[in-house]
Amino acid sequence: MTETRKKITLPYLFDKAARGEPITWLTCYDYPTAYLQEQAGIEMILVGDSLGMTMLGYDSTLPVTMDDMIRHAQAVRRGAPTAFVVGDMPYMTYQPSVESAVRNAGRFMAEAGCDAIKLEGGVAMADRIRAIVDAGIPAIGHLGLTPQSVAALGGFRVQGKSAAMAKKIMDDAKALEQAGAFMILLEMVPDRLCKLITERAENCLIMSLGSGPHAHGQLLIYHDMFGLYPKFKPKMAKVYGNAGQVILDGLKAYREEVIGRQFPQPENWFGMSDDEYAELQKLLGNSPVAETVEEGKKKKGKRKEDKK
Ligand code: KIV
């Protein structure tokens, strides 16, 4: 439990990395999950545009809008007041221009109380990162498998396996760091490449999602950890519990109990005193005595049923 935890800040994250202690980071899109992540002591929360797939049921992240992101980020902030909450900039909210990038980054901070934003892309997005940082907003880069460019990347596959591609990712990482990104997420790049980038980072924290242990911390997609995304489970995800199965079993049990009249039980409903009920019958113009007899019959019937 972390009820007394202080707000997680940038200096906290850098201090932790300097001590060689890994930073914990998870995706989250809603209030109850944010509450649990806060209680578990998770330090960073990514309100990812992956919510388009995990929460909204789209086939990709591309249809997600800024308004979708703001609504979910606000809910997360309410559930996790001390976590370092990162708003993920959706498709086409920063690519068109530097100005669009700064405006939309600002919305995450002003409307949802985020602590930082994340955007995808390397050298080509460095000017967006610089402008956002110049506006006083902490910015995180995202390299390797970048889901918003999945068509151009040829699918959800490991990036940077060849020396040439690995070098390009290293150059992208340097460009983002020089533009002022305080953190870079490496998604699905080889562990050796992640290690090299982490070792060469000077004033930038490197986080791994499926990129091995040699980073300043780890990120996982919450839905993958608990069997909550029915379409697929990426190889990099570790399943910590099958909440999806637990929920499905519960739903089936509920259905059976309603059909079989085992639900609800007296503890699941609210009664009314005999006096008030008699009064109500009077107000309705019914004979209270007749109703009481009727009630009595029903009760008798129920007692017989219970004995069976
Ligand atoms: O949207 C998201 O959850 C992400 C992760 C895939 C890193 O960007």
Question: What was the pLDDT predicted at 67?
Answer: 98
Is the CB of 52 inside a 6 Å radius of any atom of ligand 1? Answer: no
3-state secondary structure the chain: CCCCCCCCCHHHHHHHHHCCCCEEEEECCCHHHHHHHHHHCCCEEEECCCHHHHCCCCCCCCCCCHHHHHHHHHHHHHHCCCCEEEEECCCCCCCCCHHHHHHHHHHHHHHHCCCEEEEECCHHHHHHHHHHHHCCCCEEEEEECCHHHHHHHCCCCCCCCCHHHHHHHHHHHHHHHHHCCCEEEEECCCHHHHHHHHHHCCCCEEEEECCCCCCCEEEECHHHHCCCCCCCCCCCCCCCCCHHHHHHHHHHHHHHHHHCCCCCCHHHCCCCCHHHHHHHHHHCCCCHHHHHHHHHHHHHHHHHHHHC
pTM, entire model: 0.91
174 domain-assigned: yes
Whether the per-residue pLDDT at 221 is higher than 60: the answer is yes
Is the CB of 48 inside a 6 Å radius of any atom of ligand 1? Answer: yes
The answer to whether the CB of 157 falls within 8 A of the CB of 188 is: yes
191 and 303: one domain? no
262 and 291: one domain? no
- Closest alpha carbon to 110 in 130, 128, 135, 92: 135
228 domain-assigned: yes
86 domain-assigned: yes
3 domain-assigned: no
Lowest mean pLDDT among 93-107, 171-185, 220-234, 263-277: 220-234
Counting from 1 in the atom list of ligand 1, the atom nearest the Cα of 50 is: 1
- Say how many domains are in the chain: 3
231 and 253: one domain? no
Cα of 148 from ligand 1 centre, angstroms:
10
Is the CB of 147 inside a 6 Å radius of any atom of ligand 1? Answer: yes
Question: What was the pLDDT predicted at 290?
Answer: 52
Cα of 210 from ligand 1 centre, angstroms:
12
82 and 227: one domain? yes
161 and 223: one domain? yes
User: What residue owns the CA closest to ligand 1's atom 3?
Assistant: 48
Counting from 1 in the atom list of ligand 1, the atom nearest the Cα of 219 is: 7
Percent of the chain exceeding pLDDT 90 equals: 87
Is the CB of 120 inside a 6 Å radius of any atom of ligand 1? Answer: no
Cis peptide before 11 (omega within 30 of 0): no
pLDDT band at 4 (very low <50, low <70, confident <90, very high): confident
Cα of 48 from ligand 1 centre, angstroms:
5
Tens of pLDDT, residues 28-62? 999 999 999 999 999 999 999 999 999 999 999 99
Q: Which of 187, 216, 239 is the last residue before a domain boundary?
A: 239
Q: Is 276 a catalytic residue?
A: no
Chain centroid to CA 117: 14
Whether the per-residue pLDDT at 302 is higher than 60: the answer is no
Whether the per-residue pLDDT at 306 is higher than 90: the answer is no
Cα of 174 from ligand 1 centre, angstroms:
21
> Domain containing 286: what range?
277-308
Q: Interior CA angle at 275 toward 271 and 276, to 5°?
A: 60
5 domain-assigned: no
Question: What was the pLDDT predicted at 109?
Answer: 98
Is the CB of 188 inside a 6 Å radius of any atom of ligand 1? Answer: no
Question: What was the pLDDT predicted at 48?
Answer: 98
117 and 34: one domain? yes
172 and 227: one domain? yes
22 and 157: one domain? yes
Whether the per-residue pLDDT at 214 is higher than 50: the answer is yes
Question: What was the pLDDT predicted at 289?
Answer: 57
User: What residue owns the CA closest to ligand 1's atom 2?
Assistant: 48
253 and 284: one domain? no
